[in-house]
Amino acid sequence: AQSVTQLDSHVSVSEGTPVLLRCNYSSSYSPSLFWYVQHPNKGLQLLLKYTSAATLVKGINGFEAEFKKSETSFHLTKPSAHMSDAAEYFCVVRSSSNTGKLIFGQGTTLQVKP
Amino acid sequence: SQTIHQWPATLVQPVGSPLSLECTVEGTSNPNLYWYRQAAGRGLQLLFYSVGIGQISSEVPQNLSASRPQDRQFILSSKKLLLSDSGFYLCAWSIRTGYEQYFGPGTRLTVT
């Protein structure tokens, strides 16, 4: 069965420093992976997706993620954090069942300090 | 472009009262539709999904039900709310099964 583990429940960075949010996945086949962002009391917004094309995926707002099959990882990075990046981030894998169900990680809260 | 609407944005209801949350999608036809619940600001639980009018699949047994009376309308209901029904309810759509999902703004439900 597919699953995702977000290795940090909370990450704190200073504005202008790099961001790294870690995600490991478990899948018996080549997965489809996503990162979503959720600002307080808002819906989720798709940041980027991996669907077995290029292993380095570029998303919106300067975020990118690299699919590493050997490490079963799909970490989210950004070179320079902005205050507006403070939010909850979810790593997601698509289920292999015919429902196409999305399986969400528990989320990582990103705090950006001035 | 496609947009997804949810209402109401917030709702406070007493235990035992009925519930109706509505979700509509614009700019696409025959979307897959989903209802999620997010409790305590963490993790999303898929409640229902629909691949077409009148076709509803339930992921977990619970006090809630869903209906899809029109192609782009998805309704979440309850006859009698429980305290445990409190949470943030999100509707989402996708172009078809297995594709990325796009989320609405959510409804904050507090059952008192």
DSSP states of A23-69 as a string? EEEE-SS---EEEEEE-TTS-EEEEEEE-SS-SEEE-GGG-EEEEET
Confidence of residue A98 (pLDDT cuts 50, 70, 90): low
Residue A16's pLDDT is 97
Counted domains in chain A: 1
CB pair distance less than 8 Å for B98 and A90: no
In a domain, A19, yes or no: yes
Residue B2's pLDDT is 86
- Residue carrying structure tokens 């943030």: B88
Task: List, for chain B, all residue ranges whose pLDDT scores fall below the cut of 50.
Answer: none
Q: Judging by DSSP bridges, how do beta strands B87-94 and B107-111 pair with one another?
A: antiparallel
The helix/strand/coil state of B2 is coil
CA distances from A8 to A89, A105, B36 (A): 11, 11, 23
Report the gap between the CA of B10 and the closest CA in chain A (Å). Answer: 10
In a domain, A57, yes or no: no
For the stretch A7-45, pLDDT in tens is 999 999 999 999 999 999 998 777 899 999 999 888 899
Q: What domains are defined for chain B?
A: 3-111 (2.60.40.10)
Residues in chain A closer than 8 A to B43 (CB atoms): 104, 106-107
CA distances from B48 to A47, A94, B32, B104 (A): 24, 16, 11, 15
Residue B87's pLDDT is 92
Decide which of B39 and A75 is more confident: A75
| CA pair distance A110, A104, nearest whole angstrom | 17
Residue B109's pLDDT is 95
DSSP states of B19-55 as a string? EEEEEEEES-SS-EEEEEEEETTEEEEEEEEEEETTE
What's the CA angle centered on A12, arms A45 and A110, to 5 degrees? 10
Confidence of residue A108 (pLDDT cuts 50, 70, 90): very high
Residue B97's pLDDT is 81
Residues in chain A closer than 8 A to B57 (CB atoms): 99
In a domain, A47, yes or no: yes
Residue B36's pLDDT is 94
Residue A47's pLDDT is 97
For residues A78-102, average pLDDT = 89
Task: Find the CATH number of the domain harbouring A97.
Answer: 2.60.40.10
In a domain, A59, yes or no: no
**B6: enclosing H helix or E strand:** strand B3-7
Residues in chain A closer than 8 A to B103 (CB atoms): 36, 43-45
Compute the residue count for chain A. Answer: 114
For the stretch A59-71, pLDDT in tens is 999 999 999 999 9
Nearest residue of B to residue A90, measured between CA atoms: B43
Residue ranges making up the domain that contains A13:
3-52+64-101+108-113
* Contact pairs from chain A to chain B, CB under 8 Å: 48
Residue B108's pLDDT is 94
